[in-house]
Chain A
Amino acid sequence: MNAPLLSSWWYRVATRKPKLRAHARLHRHLYRGEVWYLLQDPASSRVHRFTPSARLVISLLDGNHTVEQLWELANQHLGDEAPSQDELIQLLGQLHSADLLESDVTPDVAEAFARGEREEKARHFRSYGNPMAIRIPLFDPDRLLTRCRGLLRLIWSGWGAAVWLVVVLPAFVLIWPHWPELTHNFSDRVLAIDNLLVLYLVFPLIKALHELGHASATKAGGGEVHDLGIILLVLLPVPYCDASAATVFRSKYRRALVGAAGMGVELFVAAIAFYLWLLIEPGLVRAVLFNVMLIASVSTLLFNGNPLLRYDAYYILVDLIEMPNLAARSARYWGYLIERYVLWIREVERPEGSRAECVWFVFYGFASTLYRIMVTVMIALFIAGQFFFIGVLLAIWAVAAMAIFPVVRAVRHLLESPRLRKHRARSLAISGSLVLGLVVVLFAVPMPYHSHAEGVLWLPEEAMVRASANGFVRELLVTPGTEVVRGDPLIQSYDPALLAQLRRNEAKVAELEAEYAAQFVADRAKAQVVHEKLAVEQANLALVRERAAELFTRARSDGVFIVPQMVDMPGRYYRRGELLGYVVGKTTPLARVVVPQEAVDRVRLTTDRIEVRPVDRPRLNLEGRVLRAVPAAGEYLPSPALGVEGGGDIAVDPRDTKGPKTLQRTFQFDIALDGLEAVDYFGQHVFVRFDHRMEPLSVQWYRSIRLLLLTNFNV
């Protein structure tokens, strides 16, 4: 779109003779081979970036040329590059609002005051607008820094770098042997209450050193630092300093050095703390040193060292790849991409940028947004876990900042942006249908819904060889490992009491038979009595014989006979029902699955399909069906393999000695497996997925959020 060359407002400026204020400094920079000019205002420590054609105009702002002359000169020198009148007015207005312009007329005082007020408000908003980061300026460190300028130059020179390397590199080497010592029981040590206090006290000190690093590096490079203060970052005081003067440094490495200075100082401090930590006996000082190390290395590398957040690494990155304003420009580029390819507006102007730059924009915009959202959500959740009320407020704020404000902005853009004016209907239709699609997907389209559980592969009852009677094992009738068929006797036991009783009963029967025979001829009536006694004893004998027969434990199914503790068995006493071994073979195994309380309702009521995967054959996907469900919750796991210590997911109470007792009650299900012929190893882990009735995502999410709130916060 070509903007008109002439402005209808030209008459107001044409005869003015503006002059650039004397204190403004112009710096020439090269960014990716292009010339840019930075106009620095030392008074407000703001820096403005201009193109060479704007620079030509700026250089002519000497109070002798009228604006009309400026424009003519610009046209003569720049040809097609010359700014239009509107652009020129824009430039002058921009300089004026940055307080960099003097004019030959009485300025509009009311406007100046109104602007001052607006800026004040904006500053207040920046300071206090974000409750997660409240900014409080403290003092102007410039004079202090100027006094020790010589020293600072020395520190931030090659000598300083050498000293830094000498101190930090050995620490890197030495840290590996001490790694286990340092990381042992890490989270418990760090989050213990007394340690948190130490952390809270040490953190601001270290960060103050960090900021002094920035400030001194800026000073060493010839810049001025006028603002130093603290930010209450999530109620934790964190110092900050304004090192924007470094933006005008000619060398990009020098600029990057200012950005890296903070981290450099911290790593230096961490290295020294590490050496001391090695030397000192355990105690309070050592604990403090540990924390110093922790903050000065881990936290700084995590936060400041991540270019996706707008901390130090971002500025280092921006300086090194010579793309100032990367974040804002990638946002604009994303806006362009959306308008061009989603809303399908042909005539949107593509933001300037080479191909390589565009790749940066696309990548950076995406990654940083995603990362920022993640970090915010995590911080909010973490705080919510500690202080529920504040956490929820912060979470709401975070959600507003991350989701609602952008959405409101997007809607306003759609409704009001002049760029979309001609295509507003279509833009609205496209974005409306996208939103509608999303809503439909979220609220109406049923989506697969699963719960996951773990279990163990379990043998069916008939595959277990259980002692059929109390008794001592005498011998194994079948060599373990051989095939048996159903009904084969496997193990013979003996029970001396039973044998004695058998023998007694036999004797008794023999005795009564003899007596009966004797009486039969003598006394018929007496013989009748004896006969009845004999019948009783015979019945008793049959019973005891039966019990004796049970001393032979038989196979209840076909397969291979397996005995886990063959050597100890002979001579050992087993109670009836105790497990002796297994007959593994033709029986299909089942899975015994432990389902936590929160999922049991879904599993019971809405399960459509069950999929089981044994851990040794992850590609095998078995269909299952519920065979038995234990209606009451149990305290013990069927196998220790399901507990955390056995490699499972369920937390187990270590104090209980009787077995794997869970901290929360669980429900057990036996699931029959189809398509699994024979299994070699029992008791192994299986992963089970219960497919529930399909439900829209919103319902699923609502349920999990509800559950999360209920379990964490009791609301």
Chain B
Amino acid sequence: MKLDRRELALSCPYPERAEYEPALHDRIAQGLVNDLIKPALGRFCDPARALRAIVGHAAQHERALSVASDDDLRQEANGMRATLRRRGFVPELVGRSFALVREAATRTIGQRHYDVQLMAGWGLLQGKLVEMATGEGKTIAATLPAATVALAGYPVHLITVNDYLANRDATELAPLYQFLGLSTGVVVQGMSKAERRQAYAKSVTYCTNKELAFDYLRDRVALSRRGSRLHLSLEKLRGHQERGEDLVLRGLHFGIVDEADSIFIDEARTPLILSSSIGAAEEKLQCEQALDFAAQLVAGDHYAVDPAERSVLLTAEGRRQLGHLTDDEHGVWTSSRAREELMTQALTAIHLFKRDQHYVVVDSKIQIVDESTGRTMPDRSWERGLHQLIEVKESCELTDRRETMARITYQRLFRRYIKLAGMSGTALEVAREIKSVYGLDVVRIPLNRPSQRTVLPPRVCASQAEKLNVIADTVERVAVMGGRPVLIGTRSVGASEEISAVLRRRGIEHALLNAKQDQIEAEVVARAGEPARVTVATNMAGRGTDIGLGKGVADCGGLHVILTEYHDSRRVDRQLFGRCARQGDPGSCEAIVSLDDDIFTIHTATAAHVIRKLVDASFDVPVSVYQGLRRFAQFQAERRHGYVRVQNLQLDRRLDRLLAFSGRGE
């Protein structure tokens, strides 16, 4: 990997890219290239076409490799190592390496890489974000650059969204890597430090974004001050070995991020915080009091809830009232600032965080639900006492207040990779942001086989009840009578339970999948393609798992996907639709939504209201109006989220400057 010395970060224990904030003229030039020149060029020549060259390079070696014995191939792989390291990733060499990996894959896991996968692999190796439609074999494609870079001796991280996928991919692909003389490791939740260290020491490491980020943070905290390589080497000379031993990672050399859009964009809104517990005795009483006082305040008069901004604002009247209520209290209540803050948090806990939507209660513990994936995030907790307030609200055991030790945003973490690549099914919508934040170009890889997906026009109902009925009707028609499998995607755990209840009432057998059943969801999803099978799942459940069609299903039309609520982002909708009609299979999808879905009521309240009035007056609203409403609502939502992300990034930079007196940050 060619890299200017100056691009490497100083005072870090291992290689990573230095943070670099381009100057104004660079930003302008970049903006021009990204917004004007690239789109203009892209119109004339597809950037994916440039990647096709690798197919030819690989084909040259194909015949020779296919007749070689396993041992010869291993020898060949061994021989590649030095050459790759010395000459870098030039197309001819990479072609040879890809051909080798392809041949090895054919022999070990029985899957030969398609040409489009070679193209994707080449794109990844060049540090691009590769957009491949769902089911096109991203995981397999990633083995090409991963093995190539690993052969050159650089540690490779394959980053996925959950432990299950990391585990599955590592296990499935281990024979391939092993054949090439490469070791594989996997890092999942709950592993000890030694195990992690071992896993990261392997040539190729499969891990989740969270584990990686926390391991990185832990490394930084472990070394805290004086953590540069120079410091460590000096200490080694003096005979102190231990501090170097504390490290888990070997450096951020090459990272391939699966489901890149969801990691780069959706999860980038919240920073990752490494914290340690500190005891707190009077916490519980305080929280109880806060919730008690909060219950005595009147919405509208004393405070205002803004669901779009997800914030609560105390009014002047509310402040006065709070002052009266807490007249006789001591401690935190005596300071007006502190009590108003606590009260705002309490009101937030009551009004903005809903059970089964934002969190679930498992074993009388609060677990945060990730809204974009629908999964629980057991390690996370909310900041500033919010977590404790919610625990008290749900009468759970109070966890200790946690104290931040280190924090980092994904934006910063991933930009530190010397080479970063990404894969996603849906990234074009956010290509600009990804380019400007992470510096990755998005390339769309052509389909291996043409798509046979039928997209039905959306159906918009006036109310939730009607929506549930329409969904149930559709399921009856398609699955019960047509014998086709149906996948119903919901936005929240609560919504999937509602749908499940309706289906149960109608006597339709179905599988319910949501964040509460993390362990088996992949198997359930994998079976969702069997004839007449009905699966209700949160949008993201079983992401990364292929839904293979059962026997005879393809003949009666393939999988039918029902979207029940538009997500804030069009990408996630597309991902759900992408679950049907994979790899040239037949399939269909449709959206059955309601005008009082959150996305409409929060982001386009007035317009949705007007349309509902029209519908009530039995006015025939054309579909295009709904499409427009949807587009507008999603645009608004995306804009809001984008704003938060930009703010995060700017805040990060500003604070870095501001906090410079406290030494170097994470």
Contact = CB atoms under 8 A, between A and B. Distances in A.
Given A108-B664, A421-B643, A93 B658 contact: yes
A418 B271 CA distance: 20
B337 A16 contact: no
Contacts of A103: 661-663
Contacts of A418: 647
Interface in B25-55: none
Interface string A1-35: 11011101111110010100000000000000000
Interface in B335-352: 335-338, 340-341, 344
Contacts of B405: 11
A3 to B, nearest CB: 9
B660 A6 contact: no
Interface stretch (A44-52, A84-92, A689-697): A84-92
B68 interface: no
A18 B659 CA distance: 12
A161 B660 CA distance: 50
B236 interface: no
Contacts of A474: none
B407 A8 contact: yes
B404 interface: yes
Interface in A608-634: none
A117 to B, nearest CB: 10
A2 B341 contact: yes
Contact of B341 (A4, A111, A421): A4
B337 A2 contact: yes
B404 A10 contact: yes
A80 B647 CA distance: 29
A325 interface: no
Given A8-B404, A10-B404, A11-B403, A107 B661 contact: yes
Contacts of A10: 404
Contacts of B10: 110
A616 B314 CA distance: 70
Interface in B268-321: 271, 273, 306, 309, 313-314
A109 to B, nearest CB: 8
Given A11-B403, A11-B405, A79-B335, A6 B384 contact: yes
A59 interface: no
B92 interface: no
Given A6-B384, A8-B383, A96-B660, A80 B337 contact: yes
B337 A93 contact: no
Interface string A94-117: 011100010101111011100100
Nearest to A425: B636
Contacts of A105: 225, 662-663
A258 B273 CA distance: 54
B384 A111 contact: no
A80 B335 contact: yes
Interface string B161-177: 00000000000000000
Contact of A101 (B226, B341, B344, B661): B661
Nearest to B403: A11
Interface in A49-98: 75, 79-80, 82, 84, 89-90, 92-93, 95-97
B665 to A, nearest CB: 6
Contact of B657 (A9, A79, A106, A115): A115
A9 B655 CA distance: 8
A613 B342 CA distance: 75
A422 interface: yes
B656 interface: yes
A111 B18 CA distance: 12
Most buried by B among A12, A92, A111, A112: A12
Contacts of B313: 1, 347
Nearest to B404: A11
Interface residues of A, number: 39
B406 interface: yes
Contacts of A93: 657-661
Given A2-B341, A12-B665, A13-B662, A422 B309 contact: yes
A166 to B, nearest CB: 55
B541 to A, nearest CB: 31
A108 B407 CA distance: 18
Nearest to A111: B660
B661 A16 contact: yes
Interface in B208-234: 225-226
B20 to A, nearest CB: 11
B661 A96 contact: yes
A423 to B, nearest CB: 11
Nearest to B639: A424
A53 to B, nearest CB: 13
Contacts of A107: 660-661, 663
A4 B341 CA distance: 6
A13 B657 contact: no
A116 to B, nearest CB: 12
Nearest to A90: B658
Contact of B226 (A16, A106, A112, A115): A106
B26 to A, nearest CB: 14
B658 A89 contact: yes
A421 B314 CA distance: 18
A16 B657 contact: no
Contacts of A8: 271, 273, 383-384, 404, 407
Contacts of B655: 9
Contacts of A12: 659, 662, 665
B649 to A, nearest CB: 13
Contacts of B306: 422
B5 to A, nearest CB: 14
A2 B315 CA distance: 11
A145 B665 CA distance: 46
A599 to B, nearest CB: 47
Given A5-B338, A79-B335, A422-B306, A11 B406 contact: yes
Contacts of B647: 418
Interface in B76-124: none
Given A10-B404, A93-B660, A106 B341 contact: no
A79 B337 CA distance: 9
A200 to B, nearest CB: 38
B291 to A, nearest CB: 19
A18 B661 CA distance: 8
B19 to A, nearest CB: 9
Interface string A409-434: 00000000010011000000000000
A90 B659 CA distance: 8
B417 to A, nearest CB: 19
B337 A108 contact: no
Interface in B194-250: 225-226
Contacts of B657: 93, 97, 111, 115
Interface string A537-548: 000000000000
A5 B335 CA distance: 11
A75 B643 CA distance: 34
B659 A9 contact: yes
Nearest to B21: A114
Contacts of A11: 403-407
B13 to A, nearest CB: 15
Interface string B625-662: 00000000000000000010001000000011111111
A6 to B, nearest CB: 6
25 contacts: A5-B337, A8-B271, A8-B273, A8-B383, A11-B403, A12-B662, A13-B659, A13-B662, A18-B661, A82-B337, A89-B658, A89-B659, A93-B658, A93-B660, A96-B661, A97-B657, A103-B661, A105-B225, A106-B225, A107-B660, A108-B660, A108-B664, A115-B660, A422-B306, A422-B309
> Which 4 A-B pairs have CB atoms at the shortest separation, nearest pair first?
A93-B658, A96-B661, A105-B663, A111-B660
Given A9-B659, A422-B306, 15 more contacts: A5-B337, A6-B341, A6-B384, A8-B383, A13-B661, A13-B662, A16-B663, A96-B658, A96-B660, A103-B661, A106-B663, A107-B661, A108-B663, A418-B647, A422-B309
